[in-house]
Amino acid sequence: MNRFKCPACGRNQYTSKDEAEGCIYCVYKGPLENMGPAGVEKANLEQGIAYFEDAIRESESGESRRQEPYTADGTTEASTTHHRVG
């Protein structure tokens, strides 16, 4: 994702394209200034790496971060009492 700045109004817009023309906020129709990557990919990558590092540590230590599955009413299956009818 690339960030572009309008030279007329100064507002930012984002696109996956390498070039952008025309501002979506004002009447400017010319090329927009490429400000480089928006940083979204880097943040997502860092979060993903942290998640998998935690998962690896937990698997090595025998811990589990899994939660009990939830039922339709929002309770966990482990907390649901089942009654036999008839």
The whole domain housing 37 covers 1-61
pLDDT class of 31 with cuts at 50, 70, 90: very high
In a domain, residue 75? The reply is no
40 domain-assigned: yes
The number of domains in the chain is: 1
Position 19 pLDDT exceeds 80? yes
Cβ neighbour number for residue 34 with a 10 Å cutoff: 14
Global pTM reads: 0.46
Whether 2 is covered by a domain: the verdict is yes
Look at residue 79 and tell me if it is in a domain: no
Spatial contact of 27 and 42, defined as CB atoms under 8 Å apart: no
Residue 49 belongs to a domain: yes
pLDDT in tens, 32-78: 999 988 765 555 667 777 777 887 888 887 755 555 555 555 555 55
Answer whether 20's CB lies under 8 Å from 13's CB: yes
Identify whether 69 is part of a domain. no
Higher pLDDT, 29 or 73: 29
